[in-house]
Amino acid sequence: MENCLQNPAPSEQSAHPAGEPDITFNPEQQAADSLPAASPNELPLEPSRQYAELSRKELLDIFHELLVSPTAEAASVLRREADLIKSTFYRLLLQERKSQEPQGNEAPVEAEPAADELETTFKQLYNEYKQKRAAYNQQAEQEKEENLAKKLAIIEELKKLLEKQEDLNQTFPAFRALQQHWRETGPVPVSHTKDIWDTYQYNVERFYDYVKINNELRDLDLKKNLEAKTVLCEKAEELLLEPSIINAFNKLQHFHEQWRETGPVARELREQVWERFKNATTAINKKHQEYFERQKEEQLKNLAAKKALCEQAEELANTEIKDNSEWSSISRKLGKLRQVWKTIGFTAKKDNTKVYERFRAACDKFYTAKREFYGSFKDEMHNNLQLKIALCEQAEALKESDDWKKTTDKFISLQKQWKEIGPVTRKQSDATWKRFRTACDNFFSRKQKYFSSVDAQYDENLRRKEAIINEIESFVPGNDIKGNLDALKEFQRRWTEVGFVPAKEKERIQNAYRAAIDKHFSSLHISDMDKKIIRFKNRIEDMQQSGKANRFIRSEREKLVQKLRQLESDIALWENNIGFFAKSKNADALIADVNKKVAAAKEEIKTVETKIKLIDQQYE
């Protein structure tokens, strides 16, 4: 960045050695060269806080008032505020559109944004502003040309004052009037600014050197200039406490303009006052430079963060997606990336558009693929709707059933099928789910009401079974084996007649009963086959109590039939082998062992046949 302080050329200094060190820089050109372009990427705008709190309609009203205002001040404000209003307006428009995007797991349907009346009005106003701005700029250039002519005329008048031989009391007021006229005349074209200022300054110095101002008047003028420049030094130093370095730098440019317009001070004080003003200027310039260096570092960090988001977005856009749930999941992830993007600050102007287009390209790729998927997904969603309607009809047909166990299993199966069916259109989703849920709730409410009424009976059954267990444990067998067996069978019959107990007590009470019965059966002097038959019968009764009898019986009978066939096959094989053993050396021992196996197998066959017969009698 250029240093905003420059000393006059040596030739100019030699032309007026008595003059003070000058600030010979172009105030308009210097402001343009020193300040970076006011873009969102390099120099963030500082809008008034009220803009962020206004609606888009209120922004339009403010913009319209600025456009129709005839004052020069309004035109200046309009040039400064137009882009602020524009950026705030479109930020609000973007927020409104984002808030209208679909939420939840249902897939949104991508569509072009609807026409916005306020946006159309804003564009019309902004086009009107651009036309006025062009006209204003043209007028400004014309005024600068006029100002140039006026200032050239003022310089000619200064030259004429040098040629007059009038009394100083008459010449000096005219000189002051020309200075005031010069200050009141506006800027000139940039290409002439430095030359005309140098010429004016040169003639002013000639006037001071050749007009022979008396010492008293000159000292008074120098004193007034010192006071004015001291105030400028104080104001410049106060800018070091300004929170916004941008505002401080802009104000400093204005102070420099005032410094140039202020006349010289006493020679012995020139360096002192100039150094004070220059030191404040240097400190502000340094802070200004540091501000933009920090901003550059921050922009590099923002660029790295945005590149990382681009990579994540590209990875999501290239993901192979097969079903609706994955589309919804990826959509949510991409939405989060877009939210994070908004929280990251600006990057350098040369990078901002490029990195945004990269991120936007990844998003567009994903959403284009998503639209294509849901275009072909429409038929599938219609088929899913038909499947869910069929499940609703099945659920409604079962909702009044009193077969609690079987129907509960069916409802669980229907619910599982419902989850496996893909999504339907949003318009039908809630209605079909409500219909299905109503049928399910109806059945399970009836089931809950029914079983709540039998809880008391279950508690009574538990009490009765505990009483039977106490009787079994207190039973003392006699010498009559048949009588003992009949007594135990009576216990079993009574136990079977007692209904269900609470589920949490079922296993405990059943184990206690089985332990008590088995203890007495072990003490009975009955055959092993009879014990096996009795225990098998008890097992069947246990299964009946648990509600699993039918499935258990079918499985048990199949096992018994297979075992029977295996035993018959083994016996046939062993009997066939006896003929071969007769020729061996140890034939008698081998034959005896085989006959023993055959006898055991035949005994086992009787037991198996009895069990099968028992099953067939119980479940004909």
30: number of Cβ within 10 Å: 19
pLDDT above 70 for 611: yes
The pLDDT value recorded for residue 103 is: 61
Q: What element of type H or E holds 468? A: helix 426-474
The pLDDT value recorded for residue 542 is: 62
Average pLDDT over residues 180-208: 87
pLDDT above 90 for 153: yes
Cβ proximity of 316 and 363 under 8 Å:
no
Q: What angle do CA 441, 447, 448 make, to 5 degrees?
A: 85
The pLDDT value recorded for residue 451 is: 74
Distances (CA, A) of 551 to 379, 413, 533, 548, 555: 42, 19, 20, 6, 6
Q: What burial letters (b/e) apply to 445-458, b meaning 16+ CB within 10 Å?
A: ebbeeeeeeeeeeb
pLDDT above 90 for 318: no
* Each residue's pLDDT tens digit, 206-253: 877 765 555 666 778 888 898 998 998 998 888 888 888 888 889 999
Burial class (CB in 10 A: 0-12, 13-18, 19+), 557: middle
Mean model confidence pLDDT for the chain: 77
Q: Hey, where are the domains in the chain? A: 386-452, 528-620
Residues 507, 616: Cα–Cα separation, whole Å = 27
Burial class (CB in 10 A: 0-12, 13-18, 19+), 268: exposed
The pLDDT value recorded for residue 60 is: 86
**Residue-level length of the chain:** 620
* Each residue's pLDDT tens digit, 402-444: 888 889 999 899 899 988 888 788 788 888 999 889 989 998 8
* Each residue's pLDDT tens digit, 553-607: 777 778 888 888 888 888 888 877 776 666 566 677 777 777 888 888 888 888 8
The pLDDT value recorded for residue 231 is: 92
pLDDT above 70 for 2: no
Residues 560, 273: Cα–Cα separation, whole Å = 119
Structure-token match 């050239």, residue found: 152
Backbone angles phi, psi at 398, to 5 degrees: -100, -10
Identify the residue with better confidence: 44 or 97. Answer: 97
> Given pLDDT bands bounded at 50, 70 and 90, which one contains residue 71?
low
The pLDDT value recorded for residue 37 is: 33
Identify the residue with better confidence: 521 or 392. Answer: 392
Flag the least confident range among 131-140, 171-180, 187-196, 484-493: 484-493
The pLDDT value recorded for residue 10 is: 32
What does the DSSP assignment read for 474-501? H----S-HHHHHHHHHHHHHHHHHS---
Average pLDDT over residues 132-154: 88
> Which residues are CB-neighbours of 348 under 8 A, at least 6 positions away?
41, 42, 296, 299, 300, 303
* Each residue's pLDDT tens digit, 82-104: 888 888 888 888 888 888 776 65
pLDDT above 50 for 22: no
Indicate the SS3 state at residue 80: helix
The pLDDT value recorded for residue 19 is: 34
Q: What angle do CA 267, 270, 276 make, to 5 degrees?
A: 165
Tokens of 270: 């020139």
Task: Looking at 344-425, list the stretches that DSSP marks H as alpha helix, in order from N- to C-terminal side.
Answer: 349-398, 404-420
* Each residue's pLDDT tens digit, 534-547: 667 666 666 655 55
Flag the least confident range among 73-87, 190-204, 529-543: 529-543
The pLDDT value recorded for residue 20 is: 35
pLDDT above 90 for 152: yes
The pLDDT value recorded for residue 233 is: 92
Distances (CA, A) of 450 to 145, 397, 404, 453, 500: 101, 19, 9, 5, 14
Identify the residue with better confidence: 153 or 5. Answer: 153
> Which residues are CB-neighbours of 217 under 8 A, at least 6 positions away?
168, 172
* Each residue's pLDDT tens digit, 446-486: 888 877 766 677 888 888 888 988 988 888 887 776 777 77
The pLDDT value recorded for residue 208 is: 75
Identify the residue with better confidence: 194 or 422. Answer: 194
* Each residue's pLDDT tens digit, 270-303: 899 899 899 989 999 988 888 888 888 888 888 8
E strands, 136-201, in order: none
pLDDT above 80 for 24: no
> Which residues are CB-neighbours of 38 under 8 A, at least 6 positions away?
45, 83
In the chain, % of residues over pLDDT 90: 7
Cβ proximity of 473 and 491 under 8 Å:
no
Flag the least confident range among 76-80, 198-202, 573-577: 76-80
Structure-token match 């290409």, residue found: 191
The pLDDT value recorded for residue 11 is: 33
Average pLDDT over residues 29-34: 32
Burial class (CB in 10 A: 0-12, 13-18, 19+), 417: middle
Identify the residue with better confidence: 467 or 20. Answer: 467
Count of CA atoms in the C-beta half-sphere (13 A) of 229: 28
Q: What angle do CA 486, 492, 493 make, to 5 degrees?
A: 90
For the chain, the straight-line distance linking the first and the last C-alpha, in angstroms and rounded, comes to 106
pLDDT above 60 for 139: yes
pTM above 0.75, yes or no: no
Closest-CA residue to 516 (of 466, 552, 583, 566): 466
Q: What element of type H or E holds 175? A: helix 168-184
pLDDT above 90 for 186: no
> Given pLDDT bands bounded at 50, 70 and 90, which one contains residue 533?
low
The pLDDT value recorded for residue 199 is: 92
Cβ proximity of 522 and 577 under 8 Å:
no
